[in-house]
Structures are given as structure tokens and as C-alpha cells.
Amino acid sequence: MEHSEAFKELPKALAVFNQQLVQPKKTKTADAGKYKYSYASLDDVVIAIQRGMKDTGLSFIQDVTNVANGVQVKTMIMHSSGEYLCSSPFVLGSRGDAQSYGSAITYAKRYSLSTLLGIAAEDDDDGARAEAPNNNQRNSSRASSDQNKQAKPNTPQVSPQQAERIEKAIKSIKELVNKDSELQSMLAGYEKSAGASIASWDFENLAKAYTTLKDYKSKKVEQSSLQKNADQLLSSLAELVGKDKSALGTEILGAEGIDSSELKNLDNMKKYINAIGSRLKDAKEVKPAVNQAEQLADSQTSPVSDIAAQAAAQAKAFHEEAS
């Protein structure tokens, strides 16, 4: 199992996913001859996962590859932060005819996805139909055990319309990551974990990758805008209260319980900005009173000047406390 070098936000999102996940109902029944059992179809599993991933920033793609006597599936979980988690390859044997080949893909995709995300989906007859008649154990290493008797699985044909959609999707991804080294690095990581370049991906996986990359880019733009806003507010506050800007920022972060490394999280950045804005508002309200009291103290003689000086000192103390 592989994951991105940065691996902090995705585990948090998976924890939320696990809380939101409702296990799919086993609406299908299979007859294995000696016994019958129920299972959740691939569609049921995907729907359950999509609902569980709502508002988590998570998405997934699956790469299907032809191997000797069967198919190989790898599942990748992606997060809007750019982090990813990729399953180990799952290989399933196939007799090579169109039906067993399709069944092998269905079973392998469901098994890989369910295993990676903790979905309780029972095995169904897709796996049994996909394997050779005398091959009753699901062992991925058997798919290449007999090189002299390799079957040539039927590769699904792509229609001209599908090919055009795929071409457009690839073009959209390339345009999206163009001149953005961070997005290019993310895409390279996806390709490496999937074991194939986007040129060989199907449309569904291309669309998911594009959405994840686009969401990440949008958050980068928002993050940059928020950072600029925070910097401007902090400069105004530092000038108003007469403090070092950097030290003031550290002080506010500490008061809010936010580490500077956590400002990449948009919610933390917004919390930081609100804290700066609140202090700036209080400082602006107190500043005129401070100035007025100081002017009064300078212009009056004792004992009025003493009273004014005391008022000025109190106003200053409140001003400093507010900042």
C-alpha cells in the first residue's frame, strides 16, 4: 500500500468518512450450488462510498489492467489536499471469454474498493465465474502461473464517442496542471500509484482526477486570498497598537490555539482572520479615547491634568489589553 509523502489531512478525512459511512445493503443473492448467500453489488458499494465521502474532500479512482490469464485492479483514494492512498494490486484470474472477463473486473473492483475502505460486502458469483473451472482459491499469483497457456482476455472496445470524451478529459487535465508544479507533482503521484499514465485511464477515472485537482487548485486560490487578507489586517493592527507584526501574529495564533503550520487549513485561516479582525475593531474603538485623554492631559494644569493623565493611563491599559 502506497501513500503520498504528506499524509495528514487524508487520515482525518477517512475518520469522518468512517463515521458517515452506512454499510450497503446486500440486495443480491447468489447460488453457489451447495449454498446461497447475499452480497452488495458494485453499484451499491459505490453509492454507499459516495454518500460517506460527502463533504470530506475524498474521492477515488480505480485502474484496471490486463495481465496474463486475468485482470489487475488498483484503487486510489484521493483528498482535496493533494494527499492520496493507493491499494496494493489485486489480481483475479479469468477464462478469457467476454463474460468471465467482465465478471472478473466487477469482482476485482468491488473487492479492492471494499477492502481499502472497510466495506462489508460479501463475495458474489462474479469471482467464481471469472476464475478457471479447476481454480477454486482466490490467489492473485495464479494469474501468471502458466506462461505457456496464456489466454488473451478480450479488451473492452471503446466507441468513437467514448474515445473523444477521453481525449477531451485528458486535454482538460493537462491544461489544468499546466505551469503549476504542485498540481503536476500530484498528477505524477497519481499516475505512479496507478501504475499507468492518464493516457490509459478510462473516462470515469479521468473525470474524478480532474475534479480532485480542480478542487485543490480552487482551495489554493482561496488560501492565497485569505493569506493576503490576514496579512493586510495584521499590518493595520500592528501599526495601530505599536507592536511588531510578526510577534503580534504569533501572539494571536497562540491565543487561538492554532499552530502556524495549521494555517493551510481554510477553517483555521478563517478563524485567525476573525481573531485579527476582532482585535482591530476593539483597537480602533479605543484609540480615539486614548488620543483625546492624552491631549487633555497635556493641555490642562493640576489637578485636572492629573485626572486626565489617569484617564489616559487607564485608556492605554485597556487599549493594550484589547490588542
Nearest Cα to Cα of residue 76 among 162, 204, 164, 184: 204
* Amino acid identity, position 315: A
Range scoring the smallest mean pLDDT among 39-48, 92-101, 145-154: 145-154
* Contact assessment for residue 236 and residue 203, using Cβ atoms and an 8 Å cutoff: no
Cα distance between residue 279 and residue 235, in whole Å: 12
**Chain mean pLDDT for the chain:** 78
Local confidence band at 67 (pLDDT 50, 70, 90 cut-offs): confident
SS3 92: strand
Q: Quote the pLDDT of residue 159.
A: 66
Cα distance between residue 8 and residue 11, in whole Å: 6
Cα distance between residue 10 and residue 299, in whole Å: 63
Alpha helices in 131-244 (DSSP H): 160-177, 181-194, 203-241
- Kindly give the pairing relationship between strand 90-93 and strand 70-79: antiparallel
Segment 191-220, tens digit of pLDDT: 887 777 888 788 888 888 888 898 888 888
Is the pLDDT confidence value at 138 over 50? no
Segment 10-24, tens digit of pLDDT: 999 999 999 999 999
What is the CA angle 116-3-23, rounded to 5? 20
Cα distance between residue 193 and residue 95, in whole Å: 28
Q: Quote the pLDDT of residue 130.
A: 47
Q: Quote the pLDDT of residue 27.
A: 81
**Kind and range of the H or E element at 63?**
strand 58-67
Is the pLDDT confidence value at 123 over 80? no
Segment 1-56, tens digit of pLDDT: 789 988 999 999 999 999 999 999 888 876 655 566 688 888 999 999 999 999 99
**Kind and range of the H or E element at 29?**
strand 28-31
Q: Quote the pLDDT of residue 121.
A: 67
* Amino acid identity, position 16: V
How many residues make up the chain in this entry?
A: 323
Is the pLDDT confidence value at 261 over 50? yes
Nearest Cα to Cα of residue 174 among 192, 188, 155, 158: 188
* Amino acid identity, position 281: K
Local confidence band at 148 (pLDDT 50, 70, 90 cut-offs): very low
Q: Quote the pLDDT of residue 139.
A: 39
